[in-house]
Each structure stands twice: as C-alpha cells, then as structure tokens.
Copies of this chain bind each other. A is one copy, B any other.
Amino acid sequence: MSDAKLPSHTEDFSEWYNQLVLRAELADYAPVRGCMIVRPYGWALWENIQQALDRRFKATGHVNAAFPLLIPKSFLEKEQAHVEGFSPELAVVTIGGGKELEEPLVIRPTSETIIGYAYAKWIKSYRDLPVLINQWNSVVRWELRTKMFLRTLEFFWQEGHTAHATYEEAAAETRQMLEVYTDFAVNEAAIPVIPGRKSDAERFAGADQTYSIEAMMGDGKALQAGTSHNLGQNFAKAFDIRYLDKRGELQYCWTTSWGLSTRFIGAIIMVHGDAQGLILPPRLAPFQVVVVPIFKTAEEKAIVMEAAQNLRTALVGAEVRVKLDEREGLTPGFKFNDWEMRGVPLRIEIGPKDVASRTVMLARRDQPGKAGKTAAQQDEIVTVVKALLVTIQQALYDRALAFRNANTHEPDDYEQFKSVVEKGFALSYWCGSSDCEAQIKEQTKATTRCVPLEQESREGVCIKCGQPAKEKVIFAKAY
C-alpha cells in the first residue's frame, strides 16, 4: 500500500521482483533465513492454482492423501542417486519431546521414500494397480541462495506418486502429467511453455527420465515450472514395491512422480508483470475485477456506493471474483495505482455521472491508458466483464508467446550462441555429451533446459563440438 515507485522493470528485474512480492503483499520474509510467509493475497492465488490443477488430477483418475512430514533418515539412503541428490539439503530433527532421538528424522525434501514404504505395504496384486495418489503439502530443502517463491527452504507444492504394472503405463503416466501441466500453464496461467525431456545432468535424483515444462521470464531467463519423473523400478527395488501378476509371479512395480510448486507464482509474476507491477491472468486472479467508487460529497458517495454495490452483487451472482474498494480516506488515483500494482485484470470506475447515465468505465490492466478503456452500460456489466476477462486472458498469452518468440533464436555458431543466451533461449542441436553441456554451462552460464518433445528434424551438428546431433535443445540461463 506504499505509493513509492517500484524499481525499474527493465533496469533491475531482480529487485523489481523482490520489491513487488513484498509490496503486492504476496509474501513476506520469515524469521528463519530463506523461509517465506505466503500472505493472504499470495495464498488466494495459490488456492486458485490448486483448484485448477486438482480438478485436472481428479479428472485423470488421481486421488489425494497425506503422508507424514517426518521420515527416518535411513529411508533416504535406500536409493543411491536419491541420497546423493538430497542429503546435502536436509533439515534434521534430532530431539523429540526433550530427548535425543535414537534415529534422526528428516523433514521430507520430497516424498518418494516414505511413499515407497507405504506402497510396498499396500500393493499386493495386479488388482491393486495402478495406484494414483497426489498430495498437497510443503517440503524443506536447505538451499543456500534463496529468493521468494523461486527457491525457499520451505516451499508449497503438490507431489503426485503413482505405481504401475508395466513400464509402458508408467511412461504414459509421466507424459500425461506433463501434458496436464502444459495445459494448466497455457490455459489457466496464460504462460506458453515448452514441454521436454531433461538431460542426464538435469534429471531428478533417482529418476530414469525427467520431463519438464520450461517458460521464459520477462528478462529472457528460463524457469522450470513443473516436472514429471519416470522413476523406472529404482524406488520399487529400493523399497520392495512388488505385485503378483496374473500368472502369480512377483514383479517390481514401475513408479512415477510429478510436482508443481509455489515457484509457479514466481513464473506468473515474471512472465506477465510490467513496470506498474503484477498482471494476473483472469482465470487465476484472486480478484478478477476491482470496483473503485469515485465521489466527493456525502451525497455523491451515497448514490455511487449504492450503484457500486449493485455492480458487485451482479458480478458475484455471475461467479466473477470481484472486490469493491470501500477503503476510506484514499483517493481514486491511489486506489487505481494500488490495484494496478496488485495486478487485478480489470477495473471498473464509477462516479456520479456514470450513475446518472447508467454507465461505467472499464480499464484493462494489460493495456495502460486510453487504449485499455471502454465505457459500458451497467445493465450489461456481466456480459461485458465476462467477455473482457476472456479477451485479457488471451491477450496475456499472446503477448508472452510473442515475447518468447522474439527472444528465442537458432544461432548459426557458438559465438552467436553465446550472445543469444545472454538474453533469451537458444534452440540448438546438441550431441548429447555431458562434456559439451558442462563446457557450455561454464562458458556461458546457460544450461540445457529441455529437449523439446516436438522436433522438426532429427539431423544436425552440435553447436559446441560440431559432431552429429539428433535433437535440438533449449539452452538458457535459468532461475
């Protein structure tokens, strides 16, 4: 609610982001280093993300459950790659009820191990498969460099964990959930994403195959916005998750896991935001519309507030998420700026003249100034607002896609490559060697983001070493 200006979006994207998270009251710093408090406005956004995803999970046959926060430390050690990946990041409980514990417990950094333990108990026969469970929770990873929403010690997410009878089913599940994330990103968050396969170096610790959706932020950097892992039989073997097949033989299950976290809020901020602050996609915005009443005298106030309340009632009745700004002692101009900063997609202004003429003024958040303004009849407010919200949703997607296209290049050589990844994505052939990958990372700070599932051709030469290559890869600096 401060009216001090945000840092410049173009000059200091990072500080613009940090300040915006605080000013828009999405989150605040916690007393423990690297932890965050998600404030009501940020949490309402997360609740809308949760609902949009949960609907999709349930429509694809998944159910929710809750596994414990505390995991015996020894569990983490059962899968070799997993322990190597996660043990440096663990928060360890050594004291419980005033006494030193015989076995230390870790706060889950992710739940493959404890869920593996449970699935081994629950799954007996092919009749018990597939098991398709998701959970909404928080996990703790002891990160050294943190940034609100993008990388925090504790973060909120969902983690799906499934068990299947065959490799093919697990592979299909992994890809299906990648599609669910893609559909969510595109159609709910208005964020174009590239679904693809991770390189070996970027794979989840314990997975055979990791897929991700990658989005371009407003500074041209990449953000991994959701991941889906085919865990093969690695966890099934570590935790003895077996089933009797139709012939009565014991088989190891094939498992998957997939997650999307509050870092997605960071993506929404950095994809759509502008110099004035947030721009939230209508489908996820806590408030899709804000009504700002304009008046000077007490008389004017009475008639304007009545009309404003009627607008609110009409919009609530049509299931539009609307906020009537009834705050006292603030100018309309202050309120305009405040809600622009908070990214409400559409503003309705109503003053005494509007009441008299049964009209209102509508202002689109995504089009500042006159261009985004239209008058509308109060009687038609629901129809007009609903149509405009659809238009804004699409406009945000189109703009983000145009920005990504403008900042994605296919460099001719490694010199061009280096300049491309300074700000944007390089789509380049890569031979697949981890040496080339590591050298590129060292020399440019760009990493392989993913091997896009859609590939135009399968013939080329590696941008680094010139050897034959079969796939193009997205290279970029990443959050």
Contact = CB atoms under 8 A, between A and B. Distances in A.
Contacts of A122: 28
A65 B43 CA distance: 5
A65 B94 contact: no
A305 B274 CA distance: 56
A107 B89 contact: no
B69 A40 contact: no
A105 interface: yes
Contacts of A369: none
Contact of A37 (B31, B68, B72, B96): B68
Given A32-B105, A95-B91, A40 B65 contact: yes
Contacts of A144: 97
A65 B37 contact: yes
A32 to B, nearest CB: 5
Contact of A31 (B46, B65, B117): B117
A90 interface: yes
Q: Which residue, A47, A63, A68, A133, has most C-beta atoms of chain B within 10 A?
A: A68
Interface in A98-118: 98, 104-105, 107, 114, 117-118
Interface in A45-94: 46-47, 63-72, 75, 87-94
A35 interface: yes
Given A68-B154, A72-B32, A40 B133 contact: yes
A39 B65 contact: yes
Contacts of A138: 66, 69, 137
Contacts of A67: 30, 37
A340 to B, nearest CB: 21
Contact of A107 (B44, B65, B69, B127): B69
A142 interface: yes
Contact of A75 (B31, B36, B91): B31
A38 interface: yes
A156 interface: yes
Contacts of A118: 28, 37
Contacts of A70: 30, 32, 35, 91, 140, 153-154
Interface string A447-463: 00000000000000000
Given A65-B39, A72-B32, A94 B94 contact: yes
A37 to B, nearest CB: 5
Contact of A142 (B68, B89, B96): B96
A31 B63 contact: no
Contacts of A353: none
Given A28-B118, A37-B118, A118-B28, A156 B93 contact: no
B88 A92 contact: no
A107 B93 contact: yes
A358 interface: no
A121 interface: yes
A68 B98 contact: no
Nearest to A29: B121
A140 B96 CA distance: 10
Contacts of A90: 95-98
Q: Which residue, A30, A90, A137, A138, has most C-beta atoms of chain B within 10 A?
A: A30
Contacts of A114: 30-31, 37
Interface in A211-262: none
18 contacts: A30-B67, A30-B114, A35-B69, A35-B70, A36-B68, A37-B67, A42-B65, A47-B64, A70-B140, A70-B154, A87-B98, A88-B97, A90-B95, A90-B97, A91-B95, A97-B142, A98-B142, A107-B107
Given A40-B64, A92-B96, 7 more contacts: A43-B66, A87-B98, A88-B98, A89-B97, A91-B105, A107-B107, A137-B138
